[in-house]
Chain A
Amino acid sequence: MVLRWLVALVLSVGIARAQFGTIVGVVVEQSSGDPVVGATIRLGGLPHGAVSRRDGSFVLRRVPAGNLTLLVSAVGYHPAEQHITLGSGDTVRVRIGLRSESIASQAVVVSAARRVQSVQEVSTSVSLVDAQAIAERGLTRLDEVLRYVPGVVVTGSQVSIRGSSGFSYGLGSRVLLLLDNFPVLSADNGDMSFDALPIADVERIEIVKGAGSALYGTSALGGVINVLTREESPSPELRIRALGGLWTLPRFETWRYRSDPPRLGAFDASASGAFGPLRLLAAGGYRSDESYRDYNDSRRWYSFGKVTYELSSAAQLRLVAQYAADDRANWLNWRSLTYATLPPLTTDTTDRIDSRKLLLGLEQRTIWSPALFTILRGSIFRTWYTNTVPPDSSGHVSADATQYNAELQASYQASEQLNVTSGANLVLNAVESPYTQGRRTQAIASVYAQAEYRIRENLVATLGGRLDNVSTEPTAGLQLSPKLGLTYRMSEQTSLRASIGRAFRAATVTERYAALRFAGFTVGVNPSLRSEVGWSAEVGLLHTAVLGGREWTFDAAAFVARMDNLIEPQFVVDTTAEIRFVNITRALLPGVEIAVRGWLWGETIGVESGATLMAPRDLVEHATLRFRHNVQWNTRLIVAPLPRVQLNADYRFLSRVERIDERIVQLGLVPDGDARVPIHVLDLRLLWDVPVAVPLRLAFNVRNALDYYYTEYIGNLGPTRQLSLQAEWRLR
């Protein structure tokens, strides 16, 4: 029956011939006619949405014919409405003017409910990072982007949302990572591959905070990060970016591992265009970094492609492909604080890591009627990893891991008040590695449903849940993750939100089956490892106000999360006496988060500031939870002294980690492992839009301008001062 339904769905292309059209438009500032970048465009009562590009343009495809209302908003402008009539098969062109000194901010998100929503309709906290913010900061990796988001802390290769993760050498992410809605956590370690993402061609990154398993299943214990690449351009477009820079020599003689400043460089380019019903985006890049530390250099290549084919006015097929290769030194930790930029003396510095990632994703979207649309999604995410030590030697490591993902999602607008999103998901993780003594597999089958009911015009309730069956659980593998949310629109400017939900993270194949020697100790398998589980709740307020004639956005939230069965490596004293991953920790993570954004004195100074205050507790040891920062504060100032010139400053503060894993220090695994201080990082940049025929933007970046020294995680000096010059051309 199910198979028949799936076949019918795939063949639906020819029969789903509802009456649709296309809206092509441009959003401009009403008085000057200048394009408005990043404006959000929605269709009243429909799940369609778009964000305006740098030239203010946008396209909405497969829009049901009829009388429609376009809702357009942007930070710093009055929202606008425009009524249009769209005929079947027609393309309507619109020009929308926005007035300055606007009121309400209505950015759209797709990750919170797996459909397009205004931020003010979302019952959980969501942070957005748009393409402009990424480009202005000259960022090339996801971890660099996430460091500027309130409530998000990056520790090495690990991302923590509101304290969900501490430090575990990147194993078992408690935050789910998606690329264009396809999962991209590795099948073996469940870790993030920051270098495998085409950050230069990202349209926006959505960070949904709090338990996300009700819609996304395993790993969404702390939240979900969805990296959404930009839409393919309807007209030919070429983007080229080049960056060159250096790490300044550190103040301390013993940290200067070379006499000249280490260099870095990056180059990436993308091309986009349309050929009838086919739209293409192709991108690729290379990055080389000699690093501020010896034996930490890296070379990375990536390529990315997105092909969208309009099967009909109601159906679309999209292929997403990503390949990344990474050749890097196998840095683990410093020799000591005195020699913080050198590896331990016992390190084999000829050893290198060869790491590759491949994502192939296929998605079919079908609009069956103005009320029903479905998404059929399948993907393969494969990661290879090996070092250069010969396979028969004891220091050899390698793994070949593949995640197969299949998913069917349906969104149904049952009435003006009720919207239902439901789906089924099957994930298979297959790992082949000497660590795991051969091939290991893990299957997770899931069904989910979420209903959003508009109780009153200004009150929306969300109720949903997901049932996951994890094949590797020692006992009943069922995980039920319910969620309840409420959003209350007090006025056009103010909305309240509240939510509570459960989440879980299934133990990864590596945590369960890895057997190896680490720092002289044996790491043993633990097939009886259970899933980590947790509940999180929050109440929040989003308010937009006009102060001094300019718009300000305030977002405040109070949250608490309770997590059980947290997995940590522990010495196990039994007949084997070895290190094993065990369910050991219970934690309570209460906190508050405040974010403010607005402009001062006309558009002379822009301010973005966000602070997160937490009191994370280990309920087993009755002490502060390890590897957490209690205070995080990010602030960004944007100053525009001249029409084409902008000065940006980003300041990040993280309070000193109160507690680390004392065992690492006691056992002498990392010399000076407890050396840690509060983190103050100031980044400065100067942007200049050069008035030449081909649009050129130059950016001079100074990262860690104060050359402040800190540990990002145990025995690892954080990035020192870096200078770089970036040039970006956009040809249309």
Chain B
Amino acid sequence: MRLYGKLLLGCVLALLLSHCDGGLDPTALPPTAELGGRLTVRGGSESYPPRDSILDLRVVAFRTIPRDSSIIAAVLNGQAYFTPTSILDSTHYAISIPFTEGTPEPLRLEYIAVAQQYGPNVFRDWRVVGVHASDSLWTPKAVVLRRGERRLDVDITIDFRNPPPQPFR
């Protein structure tokens, strides 16, 4: 091969190598924060309503105190985050919160609750059965998160029989 060929190959390889940095890196600062904690059911498992009335049970973390029960819409709008699957019969929960474009930092979560879907309409049929609270009167306790932070002490008490005041109209 002529010298030109070697030079061309060298230039192309140098160009390629200089333009890629190895790609995805799980050790870099994660673009998420993690929220989690313990779940306690007041009255134990006997206090559960009939299982067929719990279509879904999730922990939902709202940026602001919700004014209606459209939890899914709030999640889709980026105003709330919830557990990826039902937490029924779970003793702990964890939510991975993505810091996407438009997510404020630090992120303040005003209202963290356990929501029960009791009817077939996934958009409307929800009620709050537990809240991360600062006292026994269910006063909501806010949590502030930064990118990469893990808060696993956000415990929630669930009370199916005497649920907290509903923030929804």
Given A252-B25, A604-B2, A668-B95, A680–B100 Cβ distance below 8 Å?
no
Encoded as 1 (CB less than 8 Å from any A CB) or 0, chain B from 1 to 36 comes to 110110011001000110110111111001110000
A666 vs B73: C-alpha distance when bound (angstroms): 10
CB within 8 A of B20: which of A255, A519, A668, A706? A706
A566 and B100 CA atoms in complex are apart in Å by: 26
Question: Whose C-beta in chain B lies nearest to the C-beta of A677?
Answer: B23
Check if A668 sits within 8 Å of B96, measured CB to CB: yes
Interface string of B31-61 (1 = CB under 8 A from A): 1100000000000000000000000100000
- Bound-state Cα–Cα, A604 to B96, Å: 54
Name B's A-contacting residues (CB within 8 A).
1-2, 4-5, 8-9, 12, 16-17, 19-20, 22-27, 30-32, 56, 72, 75-78, 81-86, 95-96, 98, 100, 120-124
Q: How far is the CB of B63 from chain A (nearest CB, A)?
A: 12
B26 contacts which of A252, A600, A674 (Cβ < 8 Å)?
A: A252
Query: Is A520 touching B121 in the complex (CB atoms < 8 A)?
Result: no
- Cβ contacts under 8 Å, B72 to chain A: 571, 667
The listed residue (B5, B56, B124) touching A600 by CB distance below 8 A is: B5
Q: Contacting A337 at CB < 8 Å: which of B26, B81, B95?
A: B26
- Taking Cβ atoms with an 8 Å cutoff, the residues of A that contact B are 251-252, 254-255, 336-340, 346, 519-522, 571, 573, 575-578, 600-601, 604-605, 635, 637, 639, 641, 651, 662-663, 665-669, 671-675, 677-678, 680, 682, 706-711, 717
* Besides A521-B122, A576-B121, A668-B95, 8 other A-B contacts (C-beta < 8 A): A340-B26, A571-B76, A577-B121, A577-B123, A635-B12, A672-B96, A680-B16, A680-B19
Nearest residue in B to A340 (C-beta to C-beta)?
Answer: B26
In the complex the two chains form, is A674's CB within 8 Å of B31's CB? yes
Contact across chains for A671 and B22 when beta carbons are under 8 A apart: no
What are the nearest 6 A-B pairs in CB distance?
Answer: A709-B23, A680-B20, A668-B84, A709-B24, A577-B122, A577-B121
Q: How far is the CA of A604 from the CA of B84 in the complex (A)?
A: 56
Residues on B with C-beta less than 8 A from A571 are 72, 76, 123
Least Cβ–Cβ distance between B87 and chain A, in angstroms: 11
B1 and A340 contacting across the interface, CB-CB below 8 Å: no
Q: Which residue of B lies closest to A681 (CB)?
A: B20
How near does chain B come to A2, taking the closest CB pair, in angstroms? 51
The answer to whether A601 and B120 have CB atoms under 8 Å apart is no
User: Nearest residue in A to B125 (C-beta to C-beta)?
Assistant: A577
Query: Which listed residue, B5, B78, B83, touches A605 by the CB 8 Å rule?
Result: B5
User: In the complex, A667 Cα to B98 Cα: how many Å?
Assistant: 10
Instruction: Please state if B1 and A641 are interface contacts (CB–CB under 8 Å).
Output: yes
Interface pair A668/B12, CB less than 8 Å apart: no
Of chain A, the residue at the smallest CB distance from B12 is A637
Report the bound CA distance from A117 to B157 in whole Å: 74
Chain A hits for B23, CB < 8 A: 677, 680, 708-710
Tell me, in angstroms, the Cα distance from A520 to B82 when the chains sit together: 12
| Residues of chain A contacted by B27 (CB below 8 angstroms) | 252
Contact of B81 among A519, A668, A672, A717 (CB under 8 A): A668
CB distance from A644 to the nearest CB of B (A): 15
CB pair A677 B5 closer than 8 Å: no
Q: In the complex, what residue of chain B is closest to A706 when comparing beta carbons?
A: B20
Cα separation A185 to B77 with both chains bound (whole Å): 36
Q: Are B78 and A711 in contact (CB under 8 A)?
A: no
Q: How far is the CA of A401 from the CA of B21 in the complex (A)?
A: 45
Cβ–Cβ < 8 Å partners of B85 in chain A: 346, 519-520
Do A639 and B24 touch across chains, with their CB atoms under 8 A apart? no
Interface of A is mostly: loop
Residues in A with CB closer than 8 Å to B2 are: 601, 604
Are A672 and B98 touching (Cβ within 8 A)? yes
Expressed in whole angstroms, the Cα–Cα distance for A553 and B96 within the complex equals 52
Find A666's partner among B8, B19, B76, B121 (CB 8 Å cutoff).
B76
| Residue pair B86, A577 in contact (C-beta under 8 Å) | no
Q: Specify the chain B residue showing the minimal Cβ separation from A337.
A: B26
Q: Is the CB–CB distance between B95 and A254 below 8 Å?
A: no
| Minimum CB distance partner of A575 in chain B | B121
11 contacts between A and B (CB under 8 A): A577-B120, A577-B123, A577-B124, A641-B1, A667-B75, A668-B81, A668-B84, A668-B96, A669-B84, A677-B23, A706-B20
> What is the distance, in angstroms, from B24's C-beta to the closest C-beta of chain A?
4
A663 touching B76, Cβ below 8 Å = yes
Residues of A within 8 A of B121 (CB): 575-577
Residues of chain A within 8 A of B86, CB atoms compared? 520
Check A651–B16 contact: CB distance below 8 A: yes
Of all chain B residues, the one with the shortest Cβ separation from A710 is B23
On chain A, the residues within 8 Å of B78 by CB distance are 662, 666
CB distance from A218 to the nearest CB of B (A): 32
* Closest A residue, CB atoms, query B58: A520
Residue of B nearest to A346 (CB): B85
A-chain residues with CB within 8 Å of residue B17 when the two chains form the complex: 706
Report the nearest B residue to A339, measured CB to CB: B26
Q: Provided the pairs A666-B75, A709-B22 are in contact, do residues A522 and B32 lie with their beta carbons within 8 angstroms? A: no
Q: Which residue of A lies closest to B119 (CB)?
A: A577
In the complex, which residues of chain B have a beta carbon less than 8 angstroms from the beta carbon of A576?
A: 120-121
Asked whether B5 lies within 8 Å of A601 as measured between CB atoms, the reply is yes
Partner of A672 from the list B32, B95, B120, B124 (CB cut-off 8 Å) is: B32
- The answer on a CB contact under 8 Å between A708 and B20 is yes
Residues of A within 8 A of B81 (CB): 666, 668
A252 (CB) vs chain B CBs: closest residue: B26
Q: How far is the CB of A520 from chain B (nearest CB, A)?
A: 6
Q: Is the Cβ of A637 less than 8 Å from the Cβ of B9?
A: yes
Q: In the bound complex, do residue B56 and residue A520 qualify as a contact, i.e. CB atoms below 8 Å apart?
A: yes
Q: B26–A254 contact, CB under 8 A?
A: yes
A635 to B16, CA, bound (A): 11
Contacting pair B24 A671 (CB below 8 A): no
A709 in contact with B4 given A571-B76, A577-B123 (CB within 8 Å): no
A675 to B78, CA, bound (A): 17
Instruction: Tell me, in angstroms, the Cα distance from A521 to B121 when the chains sit together.
Output: 11
Contact status A710-B16, CB under 8 Å? no
**Chain A nearest Cβ from B97, distance in angstroms:** 9
A710 to B86, CA, bound (A): 30
A338 touches B30 (CB 8 A): yes
Cβ–Cβ contact B8 & A605, under 8 A: yes
- A677 lies within 8 A of B24 (CB): yes
- Known contacts A577-B122, A672-B30, A672-B31; A665/B24 CB under 8 A: no
Closest Cβ–Cβ distance, residue B10 to chain A (whole Å): 12
Q: Using Cβ atoms and an 8 Å threshold, which residues of chain B touch A707? A: 22
> Considering the chains assembled together, what is the distance between the CA atoms of A213 and B36 in angstroms?
53
User: Known contacts A252-B26, A520-B85; is A578 also within 8 Å of B122 by CB?
Assistant: yes
A717–B9 Cα distance when bound, in Å, is 29
Separation of A254 and B19 alpha carbons in the complex (Å): 26
